[in-house]
Amino acid sequence: MPGPRWLAALRDEDGRAADPGPASGQPEGLQPEPEIAPQGEPNQLAGRCWPAAGRPSIRGMSTPVLDETPTRSTPATARPYLLGGLAALSVGAAAIHFAVVFEHFNEYVLYGVFFLIISWAQAIWAAVVLWRPSRPWLWLGIAGNAAIVAVYFASRTTGLPFGPDKGHTEPFGALDLVSIVLELALIAGCAALLWRPSLADRPVRRRTGFAAIASLAAFPAAVIAVTTAVMTPGWAGPEGPRGLASGSAMTASATAPGAQTSMGDMGTTDGLPDMRMYGSTAPATAAQVIAAANLIKATDASLARYKNVQAAFAAGYTDVLKTNGEEHLFHSGNNPAYAGLNPQHPSSLVYAIDVPHHAPILLGAMYIENDGTNGPQVGGGLTRWHSHLTVCENGKPTIAGFGLQLRGTCNPATWQDQYTGQMMHVWVVPYTGGPFSDDLSRAATDAAVRAVLDHS
What spatial distance separates the first Cα and last Cα of the chain, rounded to whole Å? 98
In which band, very low, low, confident or very high, does the pLDDT at 372 lie, cut at 50, 70 and 90?
A: confident
In which band, very low, low, confident or very high, does the pLDDT at 64 lie, cut at 50, 70 and 90?
A: very low
Q: How many CA atoms lie within 13 A of 167 on its CB side?
A: 6
In which band, very low, low, confident or very high, does the pLDDT at 123 lie, cut at 50, 70 and 90?
A: very high
pLDDT beyond 50 at 47: no
pLDDT beyond 60 at 44: no
Average pLDDT over residues 293-304: 94
pLDDT of residue 454: 84
pLDDT of residue 27: 45
pLDDT for 337-368, tens place per residue?
A: 999 999 999 999 999 987 888 889 999 999 99
Across the chain, how many H-helices and E-strands are there? Answer: 12, 13
b or e along 366-388 (b: 16 or more beta carbons within 10 Å of the residue's beta carbon)? bbbbeeeeebbbbbbbbbbbbbb
Query: What is this structure's pTM?
Result: 0.45
pLDDT of residue 9: 36
pLDDT for 222-250, tens place per residue?
A: 777 767 666 655 454 444 544 433 333 33
pLDDT beyond 60 at 41: no
pLDDT of residue 107: 67
Going by C-alpha positions, the residue among 146, 138, 139, 137 that lies closest to residue 118 is: 146
pLDDT for 262-275, tens place per residue?
A: 434 567 777 778 88
Query: Which of these ranges, 151-165, 301-315, 335-349, 371-385, has the smallest mean pLDDT?
Result: 151-165
Compare 201 and 415 and report the one with higher pLDDT: 415
Q: What's the one-letter identity of residue 68?
A: E
Average pLDDT over residues 290-295: 93
Measure the CA–CA gap between 99 and 97, rounded to whole angstroms.
5
Average pLDDT over residues 19-30: 46
User: Which three-class secondary structure state does DSSP give residue 284?
Assistant: coil
In which band, very low, low, confident or very high, does the pLDDT at 148 lie, cut at 50, 70 and 90?
A: very high
pLDDT of residue 23: 45
Q: Kindly give the residue spans of alpha helices, DSSP state H, lying in 238-392.
A: 286-303, 309-314
Compare 365 and 162 and report the one with higher pLDDT: 365
pLDDT of residue 215: 60
State CA 161 to chain mean position distance: 20
CB atoms within 10 A of CB 188: 11
Average pLDDT over residues 386-400: 88
Compare 29 and 333 and report the one with higher pLDDT: 333
Mean pLDDT of the chain: 76
Average pLDDT over residues 321-341: 86
User: Which three-class secondary structure state does DSSP give residue 360?
Assistant: coil
pLDDT of residue 435: 92
CB proximity list for 226: less than 8 A, separation 6 or greater: 92, 178
pLDDT of residue 217: 67
pLDDT for 180-208, tens place per residue?
A: 999 999 999 999 999 999 887 888 676 66
Measure the CA–CA gap between 87 and 124, rounded to whole angstroms.
9
pLDDT for 91-114, tens place per residue?
A: 889 988 888 888 777 667 888 899
The answer to whether 327 and 321 are in contact (CB under 8 A) is yes
Query: What letter does residue 43 receive in the DSSP assignment?
Result: P
Structural Rg of the chain based on CA atoms? 39
Average pLDDT over residues 306-315: 92
